Amino acid sequence: MVSVRGLHKWFGPLHVLKDIDLTVAAGEVVVVVGPSGSGKSTLCRCLNRLETAGQGSIEIDGEPLPAEGRALARLRADVGMVFQSFNLFGHKTVLDNITLGPTRVRRVARPEARQQAMALLERVGIADKANHHPAQLSGGQQQRAAIARALAMQPKVLLFDEPTSALDPEMVNEVLDVMVSLAAEGMTMIVVTHEMGFARRAADRVVFMDDGRIVESGAPDDFFAAPRTERARDFLSKILQH
Amino acid sequence: MDALTAHLSEFGHGLVTTVELTVVTTVGAMLLGIVVATLRIAPVPLLRAIGTAYVEVFQNLPLLALLVLFVFALPTIGITFPLFTSAAIVIAVYEGAYLAEAIRAGINTVGVGQAEAARAIGLTFGQSLRHVILPQGLRAVIQPIGNICIALLMNTSLAAAVGVVELTQAANNVNLVEAQPIAVFTGAGLAYMLLALIIGQVTGLLERRLAIVR
């Protein structure tokens, strides 16, 4: 579904992604972990070209990522993205946030889009907030609305860029629960996160990044029980201590 | 006082012309302002350059000079418009530059994440602008836009210099007959103040009505 080959990315002189190869099969859930500044978010953002790759190729569902214009917009419609800071449209109600993409990009009729949006809000458990504005919702509710907005486009793959990092601790689980159920339903997901519990529960594969490289990649049980590299052992010992 | 009441129809016509000129010009300047602000943030360098050149040219020339140039110079190369149309075009083009800068400031208040989220659901640049960026950016600068509209109203009086009989010119004409400058121009001034107050009220109303829930 997603195929990355020889991906490099520079921010000025900073070499943030170094020769990344990553293949994600349809229905697979890949969790990307690693220390801050290791390039995991940048990798995630390159996959729908919010960041342009410096070198290398990215294919989504067999199609190379278009450089710009309408073709790129069409591709992005198929690649859902959930952001750390939610990024719901502040001037629109939750319902209008969700129907914007389907009505404007997919040309779905408004009543039908509303119906689908309500079903999605039901699914993420905030149907009663449909007519609220984002600022009236808690962080967890906003992130669930953002997930519903991404799902409304019926994406082939969903990218999560640290979806729970901006949340109060007690709201993390309500978002993770939604993500776990999506994973169980067979959604192809690439998740950048610090939630090792989620990785254990829902991931098919854990990818460990450090200093712009993929250092290790394997089944979550193997990775957490017996990391093969010193760098991964060091990382895990630091975050799993408490 | 008699000087005013005896010439109500002249003042009335002048006032109507001023209001018409203000409304037409405001609409034109807003459209131009949105287009130019959009050019200035466009992803294509050439478009950005065009937007910047527009703002730099029209902010850095006096309106009166532009009016005179348009009305008296263009006919020499065979281009003529009715006086009202000429004045409306020039004032709209001039105020459009100021509105463009205010609107660009508004666009800059909209977080980068909003644009990224818009692109991430597959909206094109134009769609993101129309449905996500501009609705929020414009709301942030309703007050400055109102101020520019008031300045625009005051600037319509310069149309008098190129022969449009708007409120200031009408007052001038009445004064030539009555020779009572204090009464005549105070009357005209009060009319301008009233119009400016109305613009201010509308601005305040819009700002409250359209406020984004935060």
pLDDT tops 90 at residue A241: no
Interface list for B 131-150 with A (CB within 8 A): 131-132, 135-136, 139
Nearest to A165 by CA among A198, A213, A137, A133: A198
Give the tens place of pLDDT for each residue, B24-37. Answer: 999 999 999 999 99
User: How far is residue A163's CA from residue A165's CA, in Å, rounded to a whole number?
Assistant: 6
Q: Taking the domains of chain A in order of start, what are their residue ranges?
A: 2-87+157-240
Average pLDDT on A149-164 reads 95
pLDDT tops 80 at residue B213: no
Rounded percentage of chain B residues whose pLDDT exceeds 70: 99
Which residues of chain B lie closer than 8 angstroms to A74, CB-CB? 122
pLDDT tops 70 at residue B17: yes
Which of A50, A70, A104 shows the shortest C-beta gap to B120?
A50
Measured CA to CA in angstroms, residue B147 lies from B98, B107, B133, B207 at distances of: 11, 18, 22, 13
Give me the pLDDT at residue B5, please.
85
Give me the pLDDT at residue A67, please.
83
* Burial class (CB within 10 angstroms; exposed 0-12, middle 13-18, buried 19+) of B2: exposed
Write the DSSP assignment of A152-196 as a string of letters: TT--SEEEEESTTTTS-HHHHHHHHHHHHHHHHTT-EEEEE-S-H
- Contact between B117 and A70 using a beta-carbon 8 Å cutoff: no
Which residues of chain B lie closer than 8 angstroms to A93, CB-CB? none
Give the tens place of pLDDT for each residue, A102-124. Answer: 999 999 999 999 999 999 999 99
- Contact between A88 and B117 using a beta-carbon 8 Å cutoff: yes
Ramachandran class of A237: left when φ > 0, alpha when ψ lies in -120 to 50, beta otherwise = alpha
Chain A interface with B: residues with Cβ < 8 Å: 48, 50, 68-70, 73-81, 83, 85, 87-91, 100-101, 104-105, 133, 135-136, 146, 149-150, 153
B114 reaches A (C-beta below 8 A)? yes
Give me the pLDDT at residue B6, please.
87
Average pLDDT on A174-186 reads 94
Write the DSSP assignment of A113-136 as a string of letters: HHHHHHHHHHHHT-GGGTTS-GGG
pLDDT tops 70 at residue B1: no
Give me the pLDDT at residue B78, please.
86
Q: Share the mean pLDDT of chain A.
A: 93
Average pLDDT on B168-186 reads 93
Contact A204, A122 (CB under 8 A): no
CATH entry, A2-87+157-240, from 3.40.1160.10, 3.40.50.300, 1.10.10.60, 3.30.360.10: 3.40.50.300
pLDDT tops 70 at residue A242: no
Q: What is the pTM of this model?
A: 0.89
Rounded percentage of chain A residues whose pLDDT exceeds 70: 99
Helix H or strand E segment including A103 = helix A94-104
Average pLDDT on A141-158 reads 96
Write the DSSP assignment of B161-184 as a string of letters: GGT---HHHHHHHHHHHH--HHHH
Give me the pLDDT at residue A139, please.
95
E strand intervals along chain A: 2-11, 14-24, 29-33, 55-60, 63-64, 79-82, 157-161, 188-192, 205-210, 213-218
Q: Output the CATH code of domain B17-165.
A: 1.10.3720.10
Q: Taking the domains of chain B in order of start, what are their residue ranges?
A: 17-165
Nearest to A45 by CA among B188, B116, B49: B116
Average pLDDT on A86-91 reads 96
Average pLDDT on A67-96 reads 93
- Contact between B114 and A87 using a beta-carbon 8 Å cutoff: yes
Contact A89, B132 (CB under 8 A): yes
| DSSP-assigned letter for residue B76 | G
Q: Share the mean pLDDT of chain B.
A: 94
Give the tens place of pLDDT for each residue, B118-171. Answer: 999 999 999 999 999 999 999 999 999 999 999 999 999 999 999 999 999 999
Average pLDDT on B83-107 reads 96
B126 reaches A (C-beta below 8 A)? no
